[in-house]
Amino acid sequence: MKKIQTNLLAFLLLPCCLLAQIPNADFEAWESLSPFAEGPQEWEAPYLSSEFYPVEKVEHLNMGQYAVLVKNTMPSPSSVGGAPGYLETTFMPSSQHFRLSMQVRYDSIEPPGRAKIEFRGSGGLRLTYWIDEAITGEMETIQVEAVLPEAFEELVLRIEARGVYDPNYGTPPFNGGYDGYAEIVVDNIVYENVVSSQESLKAEEVHIFPNPASEAAWVKTETGEFIRAINVFNQKGEVVLRANPNKNEYLLDVKALPSGAYWMEIVLPGRRFIRQWVKG
């Protein structure tokens, strides 16, 4: 896969382009699978530590002219890693139950740097997010399914490249710093309404069947593809359970988890599905 190196990109772009927004008619106008869904209003980088750049597309060339690279630019006081870089936009979901899929890859990563995809409601209320340290330099598709607790007139989609905060970094009077670094490329965002959270999902590729009696969850692929990994996250974004089934169906033992709402990431070859899951 052809890949533009970060230092080469910075050299080729004119200084006036470095602060430019991604062209409205391209990356910003993500494809909607519902005639009632509103697209994004405008992409912006709200903090000094954030920058984003247009980069060449390598897949789905009919969906706009550019992908977007998000990076953080402001180093921590200790010059280890850097403060998080954000790119965000406001959009208006027309359903309380929707999916948002996108393609992602790392352009540059220094562990434990990572990517973060987040939805926020009014007043900064965080509804859900996805964090992954294991994606690579190859484009792969992730799909986040959101079930909102109430109807929102608008939501914020935030894409973040970040290091991990460590209070032990820094030189007085500066305390703390960020360890690790990441630059993430995002492209081909697709919004899709799910008609009702009570109905069976159409064309569902991954199924999760809770089994409260045995305190287990049955995970199965519709296509017969092998499940490479299952990662369960709590509401803080912490991984609380992992499994590597390497088969198309798997009974996940969740006895050790307390009751509550979780996010389950199911990893297939080249794709990831993030599903909300509740243990009663």
Flag whether pLDDT at 97 surpasses 70: yes
What is the per-residue pLDDT across 168-218, written as a single tens digit (0 to 9) for each? 776 666 666 777 778 888 888 888 877 543 444 445 678 888 776 668 888
Flag whether pLDDT at 247 surpasses 50: yes
pLDDT band at 83 (very low <50, low <70, confident <90, very high): low
**Which pair of structure tokens corresponds to residue 191?**
């919004």
In the chain, which segments carry CATH 2.60.40.3080?
Answer: 206-279
Most confident residue range from 128-132, 173-177, 238-242, 273-277: 238-242
Flag whether pLDDT at 257 surpasses 50: yes
DSSP state of 137: S
What per-residue confidence (pLDDT) applies to 196?
A: 47
What per-residue confidence (pLDDT) applies to 222?
A: 84
Query: In the CATH scheme, what is the code of domain 6-193?
Result: 2.60.120.260
Cis peptide before 112 (omega within 30 of 0): yes
pLDDT band at 228 (very low <50, low <70, confident <90, very high): very high
pLDDT band at 65 (very low <50, low <70, confident <90, very high): low
H or E segment and range at residue 232:
strand 229-233
In the chain, which segments carry CATH 2.60.120.260?
Answer: 6-193
In the predicted model, what is the mean pLDDT of residues 44-66? 68
The Cα–Cα gap between 188 and 190 comes to 6
What is the CATH T-level fold of the domain 206-279, as seen in this structure?
A: Immunoglobulin-like (2.60.40)
Q: Give the pairing of strands 216-221 and 249-253.
A: antiparallel
